[in-house]
Amino acid sequence: MAVTTYICGICGYVYDGDDFLKEADDYRCPLCDHGKDAFNERSFDHEVNLASDEYHRVKKEETK
């Protein structure tokens, strides 16, 4: 099961509620007060894959 969360693109706040999509349209980031449209969906699986790719890229560069 993929873990998906929402992160504020302005300040980096990670939404910690139950279901971001069910939040009211006037939901505001508790840290920077930007609206719901400032949040980006992030998939944990995608983040792990990006980190793994970057790790292997750096290791490959180190062996040159």
46 pLDDT tier (thresholds 50, 70, 90): confident
In this prediction, residue 2 carries a pLDDT of 63
Q: Are 27 and 18 in contact (CB under 8 A)?
A: no
CA angle, 10 as apex, 18 and 42 as ends, to 5°? 45
- Per-residue pLDDT reduced to its tens digit, 2-12: 678 999 999 99
- Per-residue pLDDT reduced to its tens digit, 4-34: 899 999 999 999 988 999 999 999 999 999 9
Alpha helices (H) along the chain: 44-62
Domain 4-62 has CATH 2.20.28.10: yes
Number of H helices, E strands in the chain: 1, 2
In this prediction, residue 63 carries a pLDDT of 85
Q: By CB neighbour count within 10 A (0-12 exposed, 13-18 middle, 19+ buried), where does 34 fall?
A: middle
pTM for the whole structure: 0.67
